[in-house]
Each structure stands twice: as structure tokens, then as C-alpha cells.
């Protein structure tokens, strides 16, 4: 009887001890609580996108080894991996990053970042192709010019020059083409070869009044297709100039003379064959300000339309330098059939601003 009472007493004590341990958090085999992660921040390479453009998402902060995923919180953008694609219409969307939990840290979400989507700039057709009468399809004049110290800076003996074309409607607008060549019999101290294309309806740059042209507003690039002859492309320097002449008329100097603002971009041909190029308008340099004090392309376009686009190959005394590049013309590679040092430029299809 004594043993039974002792056994009952010991059992009661055991139960009380177990209950006390459980109430105090001891004696349990449950999973420990996870620790909160450090602040997680989402970011994007660009938070201002044109419609349907893309940007790369990234993050900083967080803790642990959990994977990071991105999700659109609002708006019509889409996300695949770390790439966000803007909606097809203007507006905004927001996106968040989430870092998953691991064995130590609980899941963590970032605050949303906002992506602003703007409509892509309208495409402005400066010209769409070449037609009869030395006019573009839009009735702007086009042609070529050349010269060197050998012919007193205007094509003539002993140098030679000429042109050729594939014109619309025999050829489609995109396949229409104009080329101009200049060949010198000996190395020159300076030479130039150029093609000019004027804005719709423009056949002459006025020396007494403003000339019409294409007005750039939110467009950021110029696009064109340019080719060259093998001799010029194989010359050590096959850099060419792209020149923009604006239409607003100024009178400067003493005695006063007509002046138009000009901008310059020097670029390197990447191929001899007709090749499409795009150049940022912001990469041009104002080379003639007509006394206005204008120093940036944006400021220039704000006061005047673009009336003429030129493409030039210049060397020696005629060379142009911009952006660390200097233009060239062929003075080293002889034409195996006709002799001389020929330089040819060709423009195919249209010129656009976008």
C-alpha cells in the first residue's frame, strides 16, 4: 500500500513537471522561429521606357540564400526572369522583388518601384527614296559635289566625278539609290566628296529667308543607309561626316552674310556594302551657331527645322573632326581598272528621324 501511494505521487509529479516545461517553452521539439531579413530594395536599369521597350530588374539587400523573383504589382507591364517589358500604351506600372525564405530567414518583399511608360516618338520621314528629276519622292532636291586642291576645289580636270541612281518607281522606295564618285589622279593635300538630300519640297537653301524643313520634337535618332566603293572602304581612314543644316536664316559678320546653323557627326563605316546606320541626335556637335550662342542639338532643334542632310568623305585640308574621329577620303588605294584614287558614297532608301 505504501509503494502504491508513492508510485501515484511520483506520477503526479512527473506530469506536473512536463506541463511546466511545456508552458515555459522547454521540452518541445517544434521548429525555431525564423529571423526577419534585412530591407530588400528593387531597382531597374531604366524607370522610364518607351512602349514595348525593356529594362533589366535587379535588387539589393535582403538576407539569406532564398531565390529572388519579380512580379508586377499594378499596370500592364510583364516580367520574365529579370526582364521587364513595358506595356504597349503609355502609363505606369509597378513591380516588386521578393526574396524567398530559407532555413534561417523568413520571406521578404521590397517596396514597389514605378516604371513610367511613354509613347514612342513618331517616325519623321525626311525622305523615303529617290525619284526622277533629282528629287526625292517627297520632292526635295538631292545631288552630289566634290573637289580638291588639284581642281581648285570644284570637280574638274585633272580629277573626274560623276553619279548614278536607281530611281523610284522603277525601284521600290526602299531600294532606290543614289551614288556620287570623285576620282583624283594623284594624292591631294585635301579633297571632299559629298551627297546632299533636302527636306520635303525644298529645292534650294534660301540666302534671304527661312527655309522649310522637318521639325524634330521628341525624336532622338537619325536613320539612313550608306554605302561606299571598295577603294575608299579599304583606305586606312573610311570615316564619314553626317551634317545637318537647319532652315532658320541669320545674317552675321561684317559685311553681313547669310548663315544657317549646322551640326556635325563623324562616324566610321562598318561595311562597304549599303548598311543601315542609326545615330543619336544628342551625339551631334553644333559647328556653326550663326552668332546665336546655341551649343546643343536640343537647343538648335528647338529654334529651327532641319532643311538638309549631307554625307561627306573629306581628307587633308578638308577633313572634319568631331567626337575623337576625323573624316577620310581615298588617297592610297588605286582603282585597278580605271586608275586614280576614287571615293564613292551611296545613299539607299530614306532618311528618318525617330
Show me where the domains of the chain are located: 40-118, 124-353
353: nearest Cα among 217, 226, 261, 225? 217
Are residues 200 and 138 in contact, defined by beta-carbon separation less than 8 angstroms? yes
Are residues 87 and 75 in contact, defined by beta-carbon separation less than 8 angstroms? yes
Mean pLDDT of 78-106: 96
Are residues 284 and 314 in contact, defined by beta-carbon separation less than 8 angstroms? no
Q: Which three cell numbers stand for residue 320?
A: 572634319
What pTM was computed for the model? 0.74
User: Rounded to whole angstroms, how far apart are CA atoms 271 and 276?
Assistant: 10
Q: What is the pLDDT of residue 30?
A: 61
Q: How far out from the chain centre does Cα 347 lie?
A: 20
45: nearest Cα among 33, 53, 36? 53
b (16+ CB within 10 A) / e for 271-285: ebebeebeeebebbe
Radius of gyration of the chain (CA): 35
**Confidence band of 146 (pLDDT split at 50, 70, 90):** very high
Q: What is the pLDDT of residue 16?
A: 44
Q: Which three cell numbers stand for residue 66?
A: 532564398
Cα dihedral across residues 59, 120, 240, 175: positive or negative: positive
Q: What are 212-237's pLDDT values in tens digits?
A: 999 999 999 999 999 999 999 999 99
Q: What are 233-271's pLDDT values in tens digits?
A: 999 999 999 999 999 999 999 999 999 999 999 999 999
Domain 40-118 has CATH 2.60.40.10: yes
DSSP class of 32: P
Q: What is the pLDDT of residue 119?
A: 86
List, as one string, the DSSP characters of 12-24.
Answer: HHHHHHHHHHHHT
Q: What are 265-319's pLDDT values in tens digits?
A: 999 999 999 999 999 999 999 999 999 999 999 999 999 999 999 999 999 999 9
Amino acid at each position: 500500500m505504501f509503494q502504491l501511494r508513492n508510485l501515484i505521487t511520483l506520477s503526479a509529479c512527473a506530469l506536473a513537471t512536463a506541463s511546466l516545461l511545456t508552458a515555459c517553452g522547454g521540452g518541445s521539439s517544434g521548429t525555431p522561429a525564423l529571423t526577419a531579413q534585412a530591407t530588400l530594395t528593387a531597382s531597374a536599369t531604366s524607370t522610364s521606357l518607351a512602349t514595348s521597350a525593356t529594362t533589366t530588374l535587379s535588387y539589393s539587400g535582403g538576407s539569406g540564400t532564398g531565390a529572388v523573383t519579380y512580379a508586377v504589382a499594378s499596370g500592364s507591364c510583364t516580367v520574365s526572369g529579370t526582364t521587364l517589358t513595358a506595356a504597349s500604351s503609355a502609363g505606369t506600372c509597378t513591380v516588386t522583388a521578393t526574396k524567398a525564405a530559407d532555413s534561417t530567414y523568413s520571406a521578404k518583399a521590397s517596396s514597389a518601384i514605378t516604371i513610367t511608360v511613354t509613347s514612342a516618338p513618331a517616325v519623321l520621314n525626311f525622305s523615303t527614296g529617290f525619284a526622277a528629276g533629282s528629287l526625292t519622292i517627297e520632292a526635295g532636291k538631292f545631288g552630289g559635289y566634290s573637289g580638291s586642291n588639284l581642281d581648285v576645289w570644284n570637280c574638274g580636270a585633272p580629277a573626274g566625278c560623276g553619279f548614278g541612281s536607281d530611281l523610284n518607281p522603277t525601284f521600290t522606295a526602299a531600294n532606290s539609290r543614289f551614288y556620287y564618285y570623285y576620282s583624283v589622279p594623284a594624292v591631294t593635300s585635301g579633297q571632299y566628296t559629298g551627297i546632299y538630300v533636302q527636306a520635303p519640297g525644298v529645292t534650294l537653301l534660301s540666302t534671304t529667308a527661312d527655309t522649310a524643313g522637318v521639325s524634330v520634337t521628341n525624336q532622338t535618332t537619325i536613320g539612313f543607309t550608306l554605302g561606299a566603293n571598295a577603294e575608299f572602304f579599304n583606305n586606312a581612314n573610311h570615316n564619314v561626316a553626317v551634317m545637318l543644316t537647319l532652315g532658320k536664316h541669320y545674317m552675321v559678320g561684317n559685311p553681313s552674310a547669310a548663315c544657317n546653323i549646322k551640326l556635325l557627326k563623324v562616324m566610321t563605316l562598318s561595311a562597304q556594302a549599303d548598311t543601315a546606320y542609326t545615330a543619336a541626335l544628342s551625339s551631334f556637335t553644333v559647328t556653326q551657331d550663326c552668332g546665336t550662342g546655341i551649343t546643343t542639338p536640343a537647343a538648335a532643334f528647338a529654334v529651327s527645322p532641319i532643311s538638309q542632310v549631307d554625307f561627306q568623305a573629306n581628307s587633308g585640308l578638308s577633313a572634319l573632326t568631331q567626337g575623337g574621329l576625323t573624316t577620310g577620303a581615298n588617297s592610297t588605294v588605286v582603282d585597278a581598272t580605271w586608275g586614280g584614287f576614287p571615293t564613292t558614297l551611296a545613299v539607299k532608301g530614306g532618311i528618318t528621324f525617330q
